[in-house]
Amino acid sequence: MTTTEWRIKGTEIVNCNCDFSCPCQFNALPTHGNCEAAVAVHIDKGHHGSVKLDGLTIAASVVWPGPIHMGGGVIQPIVDERASEEQRQALLRIMSGEDTDPGATFFQVFSATYEKVLPPIFRKIDFSADVESRKGRFKVPGVVESETTPIINPVTGAEHRVRVTLPQGFEYHEAEYASAKFNTDIPQKLAIDKGHAHLARIEMTGHGVVH
């Protein structure tokens, strides 16, 4: 089967309803038995074949009724409204795990767990992130709003810094862990306070994460 070579390099923010650290990162079951998540990726530099993706942002809100690997997920894909038709199709192929080796990226791995993929939304995605300070935000009006802040030590009130490295990870090589506050309206109404968050500079291709 012919596939198109692609590569993206940029910054991601991921939020979920689990306790800080997210058990998935350690091959454990989710804190509350299910997974509710929101993610955004700003692409500094990227391409899908000859289609340039520089400066565009993608996002998604996702719910799974149990652990991710058990399936049944529902995802709402969101693509930067500034993207041309060619860029939109390229980004949706990457997000849906197309043109990607099996198991190579979190896009491809998660795609096998969706029971329903809602029609993509093309809207403005406000995104900002400072990985080192563990601060970031993204917003798509009427769909998802997220704020990421440092984890705070409950005794001293000081910022608590945690950095995790996954040398064989399919999402990032290294990420800063943080606290998430986010809400979604699609695919279902959620309001999560003090959930897990991580911020990372990512680089990946259809063959996997660049470590």
Query: What's the whole-model pTM score?
Result: 0.96
Backbone angles phi, psi at 32, to 5 degrees: -105, 10
The CA distance from 40 to 140, in Å, is 10
Dihedral sign, Cα of residue 17, residue 19, residue 20, residue 23 = negative
The CA distance from 182 to 189, in Å, is 11
Q: What are 145-166's pLDDT values in tens digits? A: 999 999 999 999 999 999 999 9
Mean pLDDT of 13-38: 96
Q: What are 40-76's pLDDT values in tens digits? A: 999 999 999 999 999 999 999 999 999 999 999 999 9
Residue 103 predicted with pLDDT over 80 = yes
Residue 193 predicted with pLDDT over 60 = yes
* Average confidence score pLDDT of the chain: 97
Dihedral sign, Cα of residue 142, residue 19, residue 204, residue 100 = negative
**DSSP notation for 159-203:** EE-EEEE-TT-SS-SEEEEEEEEEEE-SSS-EEEEEEEEEEEEEE
The CA distance from 127 to 123, in Å, is 12
Residue 134's pLDDT is what? 98
Residue 1 predicted with pLDDT over 60 = no
Q: What are 112-129's pLDDT values in tens digits? A: 999 999 999 999 999 999
> 2: pLDDT confidence band, cut at 50, 70 and 90?
low
Residue 3's pLDDT is what? 87
